Amino acid sequence: MMPTALPPLTSLGYSLDTSPTAFGELRDSREVADDPAALRGRMREDGYLFLRGLLDREAVLEARSEVTRRLAELGQLEPGRPHRDAVARAGAAGAGFEALTAANEPLHRLLYGRTLIGWYERLLGGAIRHYDFTWFRAVPAGGRGTTPHCDVVYMSRGTHNLYTAWVPIGDVPLQVGGLMILENSHCQQERLSAYLSRDVDDYCTNRPDAADIEAGQKLWQDWDGRLSSNPVTLREKLGGRWLTTGFEAGDVLTFGISTVHASLDNRSDRFRLSSDSRYQLALEPADARWIGERPVGHGPAAKRGVIC
**Domains in the chain: ranges and CATH:** 17-282 (2.60.120.620)
Supply the pLDDT for residue 219. Answer: 76
Please give the share of the chain, as a percent, with pLDDT higher than 90: 88
Residue 196 has pLDDT above 80, yes or no: yes
Please give the span between the terminal C-alpha atoms of the chain, in angstroms, as a whole number. 46
The pLDDT of residue 163 is 98
The tens digit of pLDDT for each residue in 90-121 reads: 999 988 899 999 999 999 999 999 999 999 99
Q: What is the pTM of this model?
A: 0.96
75 burial (CB, 10 Å; 0-12 / 13-18 / 19+) is: exposed
The pLDDT value recorded for residue 208 is 86
Strands 162-168, 261-263: pairing is unpaired
- Contact between 152 and 158 under an 8 Å Cβ cutoff? The reply is no
Residue 173, pLDDT above cutoff 80: yes
Is 231 in contact with 16 (CB distance < 8 Å)? Answer: yes
**3 pLDDT higher than 80:** no
**236-279 confidence digits (pLDDT tens):** 999 999 999 999 999 999 999 999 999 999 999 999 999 999 99
**pLDDT tens by residue, 204-220:** 888 888 888 887 777 76
Element housing 213 (H / E): helix 210-214
Q: Which residue in 12, 9, 69 sits closest to 226, CA to CA?
A: 12
Q: For residue 299, name the pLDDT band (cuts at 50, 70, 90).
A: confident
Quickly count: other Cβ atoms within 10 Å of residue 90's Cβ: 8
Average pLDDT over all residues of the chain: 95
* Confidence at residue 89, expressed as pLDDT on a 0 to 100 scale: 96
132-155 tens-digit pLDDT: 999 999 999 999 999 999 999 999
What value does the mean pLDDT take over residues 17-25? 97
The residue type of 291 is I
| pLDDT tens digits along 32-88 | 999 999 999 999 999 999 999 999 999 999 999 999 999 999 999 999 999 999 999
Quote the CA–CA distance of 293 and 57 in Å, as a whole number.
Answer: 29
pLDDT band (50, 70, 90) for residue 300: confident
Q: What pLDDT, on a 0 to 100 scale, did the predictor assign at position 250?
A: 98
